[in-house]
Amino acid sequence: MRDIDVKEVTRAVAECCIDSCNNLPEGVLKKLEAARKEEISPLGCQVLDTIIENAKLANKKQVPLCQDTGLTVVYIDIGQEVHFTGGDLWDAIHAGVAKGYTEGYLRKSSVDDPIFLRKNTQDNTPAIIHCRIVPGEKVHIIVLPKGCGSENMSQLRMLKPADGLEGIINFVLEAMRTAGPNPCPPVTVGVGVGGNAEKATELAKYALARKIGEHNANPQYAKLEDDLLELVNKTGVGPSGLGGKTTALAVNVEYAPTHIGGMPCAVIFNCHAARRSETTI
């Protein structure tokens, strides 16, 4: 058994919030630079140059890459040998978000009531928390701030077994064409297949929490990721949706067992400002 003070969690979450919003993961920057070399559209080249410059400038000045620092999605894997002390763990995570967004000059974009009041909570809380209990005595945290321009283009479709692989591919391409410029391409496409409605959606988001460049461990799904990436990059959407061959930097697919009668599929986009920060306590 290992005791961990929840203040440690607050501190870790706050640091990840600031780090992710100001510093584009190096892997993403490398992919953008590689894509720039391949891009054929003049507008697309201009866009890629600007977003590469933007990432470097944000890093240098330690300011947010994008003003929409999103709702804060927090993945927390808790080793089952861990015992939290000093307070409520959930409160500690929310406090970390409040601290990070306040001290880091990040935009507070969370409203308390979606329909009637829509009053800003002033500190970007609550976090959206996904928690797993895992073996061991460590705590692993991934913070994934997610802006609304890309989130609003998410789609869930309750595909049927007869729709098959073709149904999945067509749905992903349709979602990409519909999204067009809105999710700020080049995007990362998160695809969740299987489970039920909420499981597929959760998987699509979890697919975006992956480090860029990682593939699904199942070779068939890894190949599907490559195939989808190639097809998405033929839609012509291009950087900022202004035309070109760099529409996505990656397609990440996650899957889960599903019902004999179903094949739900969710697609969630992450923008080129693919913010992500992780830490282990």
Provide the minimum distance between the beta carbon of 188 and another protein in the complex, in angstroms, as a whole number. Answer: 13
Provide the minimum distance between the beta carbon of 67 and ligand SF4 in the complex, in angstroms, as a whole number. Answer: 7
Phi, psi of 241 (to 5 degrees): 75, 20
Residue span 137-176 as binding mask against ligand SF4, x where in contact by CB under 6 A, dash where not: ----------x-xx--------------------------
Provide the minimum distance between the beta carbon of 152 and another protein in the complex, in angstroms, as a whole number. Answer: 7
d(CA 77, CA 134): 6
CA atoms within 13 A on the CB side of 35: 30
Two structure tokens written together for 200 = 């597929």
Provide the minimum distance between the beta carbon of 79 and another protein in the complex, in angstroms, as a whole number. Answer: 35
Q: Which positions lie near another protein, rule CB under 8 A?
A: 40-43, 46-47, 50-51, 53-54, 57-58, 61, 63-69, 105-109, 118, 120, 148-149, 152, 180-182, 184, 233-238, 240-245, 271-273
Residues 254-273 interacting with ligand SF4 (rule: CB under 6 A):
271, 273
Nearest Cα to Cα of residue 137 among 4, 228, 26: 4
Is 24 exposed, middle or buried (CB count within 10 Å of its CB: 0-12, 13-18, 19+)?
A: buried
Distances (CA, A) of 13 to 66, 75, 84, 141: 19, 10, 15, 8
Q: Of these partners, another protein, ligand SF4, none, which one is at the site of residue 107 (CB under 5 to 8 Å by kind)?
A: another protein
Contact between 186 and 35 under an 8 Å Cβ cutoff? The reply is yes
- Is 46 or 258 the residue whose CB approaches ligand SF4 more closely? 46
- Is 159 or 187 the residue whose CB approaches another protein more closely? 187
Phi, psi of 258 (to 5 degrees): -140, -175
Strand order of the β-sheet with 187-195 is: 155-159, 263-270, 187-195, 248-258
Q: Of these partners, ligand SF4, another protein, none, which one is at the site of residue 258 (CB under 5 to 8 Å by kind)?
A: none
Q: Is 47 in the site for ligand SF4 (CB under 6 A)?
A: no
Nearest Cα to Cα of residue 101 among 77, 75, 127: 127
d(CA 78, CA 213): 25
Provide the minimum distance between the beta carbon of 252 and ligand SF4 in the complex, in angstroms, as a whole number. Answer: 17
Q: Is 66 in the site for ligand SF4 (CB under 6 A)?
A: yes
Provide the minimum distance between the beta carbon of 77 and ligand SF4 in the complex, in angstroms, as a whole number. Answer: 25
Beta pairing class for 82-85 and 139-146 = unpaired
- Is 41 or 170 the residue whose CB approaches another protein more closely? 41
Q: Which residue is nearest to ligand SF4 (CB)?
A: 147
- Is 97 or 139 the residue whose CB approaches another protein more closely? 97
- From the list 19, 39, 68, 254, which residue makes contact with ligand SF4 (rule: CB under 6 A)? 68
Contacts of 265 (CB under 8 A, 6+ apart): 156, 157, 159, 167, 168, 171, 172, 191, 192, 193, 200
- Is 20 or 216 the residue whose CB approaches another protein more closely? 20
Provide the minimum distance between the beta carbon of 68 and ligand SF4 in the complex, in angstroms, as a whole number. Answer: 4
Using CB under 6 A as the criterion, which residues of the chain lie in contact with ligand SF4 when the complex forms?
Answer: 66, 68, 147, 149-150, 183-184, 271, 273
